[in-house]
Amino acid sequence: MFPEYDIIVVGAGHAGCEAAAAAAKMGSKVLLATMNMNTIAQMSCNPAMGGVAKGQIVREVDALGGMSGIITDKTMIQFRMLNKSKGPAMWSPRAQSDRMRFAEAWRLILEQTENIDFWQDMVTGIMVEGGKAAGIRTSLGITIPGKAVVLTNGTFLNGIIHIGEKQLGGGRAAEKAAKGITEQLVELGFEAGRMKTGTPPRVDGRSLDYSRMEEQYGDENPSKFSYTDTEPLKTQRSCYITYTNPEVHEILKTGFEKSPMFQGRIQGLGPRYCPSIEDKINRFADRDRHQIFVEPEGWSTVEVYVNGFSSSLPEDVQLKALRKIVGFEKAKMFRPGYAIEYDFFPPTQLNLTLETKLVANLYFAGQINGTTGYEEAACQGLMAGINAHNKVNDKAPFVLKRSEAYIGVLIDDLVNKGTNEPYRMFTSRAEHRILLRQDNADIRLTKLGYDLGLADESRLKAVDKKIRETAEIIAYLNNKPLEPGDINSMLEELGSAPISEKQRAGQLIKRPNIEIEHLAAAVPSIGEYLSKFQKNSVEQAGIAVKYESYIEKEHMMAGKMSELENYSIKEKIDYRNIPALSAEAKEKLLKINPETIGQASRISGVTPADISVLMVYLGK
Amino acid sequence: MTNQFHTTDTIVAVATASGTGAIAVIRLSGPEAISLTNNVFKGKDLAEQASHTIHFGTIRDGDKVLDEVLVSLFVAPHSYTKENVVEISCHGSDFIVQQIVQLLLKKGARLANAGEFTKRAFLNGQFDLAQAEAVADLIASDSALSHEVAMKQMRGGFSQEIKRLRAELVHFASMIELELDFGEEDVEFADRDQLRRLIGNIQQVIRELLKSFELGNVIKNGVPTVIVGKPNAGKSTLLNKLLNEEKAIVSDVPGTTRDFIEDEISIEGITFRFIDTAGLRETTDKVEKLGVERTMQKLNQSALIIYLFDITEVTAAEVQAELHKLNPDKRPLLAVANKIDQASPEKLAAFASIDGVLQISAAEGANLDALKLALVQKVNLGKLNTQNQTIVTNLRHVNSLHKTYAALDDVLHGVSSGMSGDLIAADIRRALYSLGEITGEITTEDLLDNIFTKFCIGK
């Protein structure tokens, strides 16, 4: 009934959609298998894309030729550039999305992408022939042949939903769990684990009193995610901020005896940085309030997402507590919050291409690898799609370095460190944060995407132009002399020391509170010169000049740290025979079998002392 | 590359310095250390003996007795290398030692590479990198104090100090990272004054460690000392006298920075290293030919100056002028009046009034004990309590500490000028990286763990 596909993608969430789109665009015949075609590209948790570190990832996905950025731009209802008061490495785009339109946009794009077929069914097993993935088996008893399989099962593998003392099998509220895959993979020798995550209640926006909350507007001049010519927003919807209080906490505590978390019914590990509200008041008992973000779910729906109130307490306790929050006195609940437990496969079982070490041509992406977040899932899907395509076409693996992209940091962390809790990206995970900015993802990655056959030529031309213009502007700024008379009144106005003799424009931009825009406004010749260029080139040049010394230092550090990467571990070492290594290091090194000392140094449980032992052992 | 040494082969080397001593020690380490020795040893069956026991017997090559020896047994893992270790104490003749080593090699031992015992100890988990480096220092130490410092470092004192510093820095880094990654959330931002104080404290500790290096260096390499004075003041006589009285060490250790032979004497455990004494000792004429420039160069290399003058030739005023020129504020200076045996009582009385001038007769050996005491006091190591203070002795560590300090300067500058947290964080990471060069790197995971345990994070 089915032809042989090049790539079969199992699951149609953020990872699956990116994987299917990337492989198809590169030329593979793709089948996207999902349990329910009505829930393609669901935002299962909050209706937002981006945020600190995550926004940078979306920009990277877009720069490589992925779709998440474009779809977010098309369906967002609010845009904010977070951390604008901090340095450019921290600027992080974040969008509130229209949940329903987001999913719809993805589905339409996938439908319009050549080479993608769909099949609605539950995949129950992988066909493996000669240690290699060869297709899938479904609940309808069908086998579908494929040269490579990408698994993106999200929270569906043996998913169990907890609300108070109730337990329901399911992958998302009101959706069935998926069975069979875990059992088969474990039989094949994979190690499986259990994770937990949670989501807050959704309420009726008409029942809230927004006048008693703090309004959070979108940016005055909203930016966007994609480097392509998508349109920025013209109108936006606001979010609102309110707080819990001791009364709320007291009510929540009455539900503790029915809490699946506290009573030990949940075995899986949850994320420390995204705790449930009961976890917060339990662990940080000294705090008498916690912040709540009230997020609209779309342009026209009345449903509202109560961010910060994730809970698996009984639904009546949730509602009672909610109603003690300022502005929520008359709240009507649409859906209770819940916790969900699901299977994942410790990602140390993967190569850096996201192909499993155990079964060739089998790729894992998204929550199945123990990550959390749409953005983290999307970028893994993209990388898995690219690598699956390259593999079946005998092309080189595509791996990004830690100093090249957050995507590189994420996959390197997963493969080498594994994770005990749902892995979310933070900027602090990146050693070279200052290089991995949202403003330069295109400069870092678009050429790579183009060479892969993923980013089209118009993207390449745009980034080439940006690079050219940026260089031109930098040279101009570093040469442009400014007289005290040109600029001192502006400097004084900004509280910056006036200059006593001629200075180059570039020098002034290095001052903490002097931006390229200030010079453009104060000195007509600069303003006129800069007006010839596109805005993002001017911004890029401003950053390059202003942070030159930091960027340089960071490049140096990146070079120094990559020295360890040059120490390759060629021969197979029996780490058990090196007594000085800790027991944990021995076990992890054996399992991961690092290719370089650098990689070894990032394996969790491998301490610096272990690395010195290895270096001495290898005679380096 | 030596990859399978740890379980397969047994190494042997002479553990004592060649030539001089009455006793020499040959050390073996490895799985076959005991059986190999047993093979050539006549006495008790060593395989049957307990660890940490000593046995008398003879080493024989076939029927030929090579020497009477004492054999000390250390059974794995209760030894320096954590392998089986045997130490054979034999008579200290090069010939005998070589015969025994050759015999052991013939029986299957392998000659150890330089530092291989320590390398094995390290690989077998006996100590960390900083401790291993201390072992190298320990082996090279030849004064009582340097031995003590190296011992302390080997026991991990320095590593502890660095760990404490790192913990402080990680704490600082996580406060900054918290603002960066969770700035959108309801977290309290770090108080900048508090951050400045914290960095100030860390820098203070580093300063002390760096200062200890000067001290440590003195202990490890000796106090570079120079004797200056006019021709015929008696410089060579004094030097020779000191060298004869104390244990003189003629050092030409390869690989040290010293490029010519120097004289060292050890007084009360402190090594004094006399700079450019070759000229002094050969002939006094040469000293006359020393140009001013050369003299200054000598002075700059020294940590301690002995200004020697002939009391019969100069006036007190001249000496005072001369002393002033030598700028005693810059480094310890000891003014010494020589040839008191030839001076008139009036002269002696005139000089007695100048503060700190010591009166000796090098030729007669008069008052030399007072001079030695003064030398020790000048170095001021009396105050140094090596029991309680961590002393940095390793140049690599010093460089890393310097880099850390410089990066912290940048941090401080960033905090003071209101620089954004991501830039401050970049400098902190450089500081942590440099510190990590000493004992190992800090991971981003450590930072996040610190954040998650201390702060309430998450929507």
Q: Which of A165-169, A519-523, A576-580, B293-297 has the lowest mean pLDDT?
A: B293-297
Segment A494-513 shows an average pLDDT of 90
Query: Is the pLDDT score of A529 beyond 90?
Result: yes
Which of A157-161, B18-22, B414-418 has the highest average model confidence (pLDDT)? A157-161
Residues A606 and A555: beta-carbon distance below 8 Å: no
Task: Characterize B202-213 residue by residue with b for buried, 16 or more Cβ atoms within 10 angstroms of its Cβ, and e for exposed.
Answer: bbebbeebbebb
Q: For the whole model, what pTM was predicted? A: 0.75
For residue A533, the SS3 value is coil
Residue B333's pLDDT is what? 82
Q: Flag if B423 and A430 touch (Cβ within 8 Å).
A: no
Residues of B in contact with A412 (CB under 8 A): none
Residue A387's pLDDT is what? 98
Residue B290's pLDDT is what? 46
> Which distant-in-sequence residues (6+ apart) come within 8 Å of A371 by Cβ?
A377, A380, A410, A414, A419, A422, A423, A424
Which of A52, A280, A554 lies closest to B426 in CB terms? A554
Q: What is the residue extent of each domain of chain B?
A: 11-127, 136-217+394-440, 241-379
Query: Is the pLDDT score of B341 beyond 70?
Result: yes
Segment A412-439 shows an average pLDDT of 92
Residue A525's pLDDT is what? 94
Banded model confidence at residue B279, pLDDT cuts 50, 70, 90: very low
**CA dist., res. A14 & res. A252, Å (int):** 33
**CA dist., res. B449 & res. A272, Å (int):** 9
**CA dist., res. A439 & res. A447, Å (int):** 15
Residue B225's pLDDT is what? 83
Q: Is A485 on the interface with B (CB under 8 A)?
A: no
Give the percent of chain B with pLDDT over 90.
13
Reported ipTM: the value is 0.79
Angle between helices B144-154 and B157-181 (to 10 degrees): 50
Q: Is B183 on the interface with A (CB under 8 A)?
A: yes
Residues A245-301 pLDDT 10s: 999 999 999 999 999 988 888 887 777 777 899 998 988 888 899 999 999 999 999
Residue B375's pLDDT is what? 83
Query: Is the pLDDT score of B102 beyond 80?
Result: yes
Number of Cβ pairs < 8 A linking chain A and chain B? 143
Segment B186-196 shows an average pLDDT of 76
Query: Is the pLDDT score of A332 beyond 90?
Result: yes
Q: Which class is domain B11-127? A: alpha beta
Which of A498-502, A558-562, B272-276, B332-336 has the highest average model confidence (pLDDT)? A498-502
> What does each C-alpha distance from B275 to A395, A594, B304 come to in angstroms?
66, 51, 10
Segment A224-245 shows an average pLDDT of 96
Nearest-CA distance B388 → chain A (Å): 25
Tally Cβ neighbours within 10 Å of residue A38: 10
Q: Flag if B426 and A433 touch (Cβ within 8 Å).
A: yes
**CA dist., res. A46 & res. A187, Å (int):** 35
* Beta strand ranges found along A245-332 (DSSP E): 291-296, 303-307
Residues of B in contact with A602 (CB under 8 A): 443
Which of A377-391, B9-23, B175-189, B192-206 has the highest average model confidence (pLDDT)? A377-391
- Please provide the average confidence, as pLDDT, over all residues in chain B: 74
Query: Is the pLDDT score of A369 beyond 80?
Result: yes
Residue B449's pLDDT is what? 62
Query: Is the pLDDT score of B215 beyond 80?
Result: no
Residues of B in contact with A619 (CB under 8 A): 1-2
Residues of B in contact with A308 (CB under 8 A): 459
Query: Is the pLDDT score of A475 beyond 90?
Result: yes
Residue A297's pLDDT is what? 97
Query: Is the pLDDT score of B381 beyond 70?
Result: no
- More confident call, A439 vs B434: A439
Which of A381-385, A513-517, B25-29, B245-249 has the highest average model confidence (pLDDT)? A381-385
Name the CATH topology of B136-217+394-440: Four Helix Bundle (Hemerythrin (Met), subunit A) (1.20.120)
Q: Flag if A616 and B452 touch (Cβ within 8 Å).
A: no
Q: Flag if A272 and B183 touch (Cβ within 8 Å).
A: no
**CA dist., res. B236 & res. B213, Å (int):** 31
Residue A566's pLDDT is what? 75
Chain B interface mutation, best of A94, A428, A549, A569, highest count of B Cβ atoms under 10 Å: A428
Segment A204-215 shows an average pLDDT of 97
Residues B137 and B150: beta-carbon distance below 8 Å: yes
CATH number belonging to domain B241-379: 3.40.50.300
Bridge partners of B105, per DSSP, are: none
Bridge partners of A339, per DSSP, are: A162, A198
Banded model confidence at residue B97, pLDDT cuts 50, 70, 90: confident
Which of B124, B430, B457 lies closest to A553 in CB terms? B430
Touching B: A residues 506-535, CB under 8 Å: 512
Banded model confidence at residue B362, pLDDT cuts 50, 70, 90: confident
Segment A37-41 shows an average pLDDT of 96
Banded model confidence at residue B286, pLDDT cuts 50, 70, 90: very low
Banded model confidence at residue B258, pLDDT cuts 50, 70, 90: very low
Give the percent of chain B with pLDDT over 70.
67
Q: What angle do CA A57, A200, A288 make, to 5 degrees?
A: 100
Residue B289's pLDDT is what? 46
Residues A547-605 pLDDT 10s: 998 999 888 888 877 777 777 887 788 888 887 777 778 888 888 888 888 888 888 77
- How many alpha carbons fall within 13 Å on the CB side of residue A334? 16
Touching B: A residues 417-436, CB under 8 Å: 417, 426-431, 433-434
Residue A312's pLDDT is what? 95
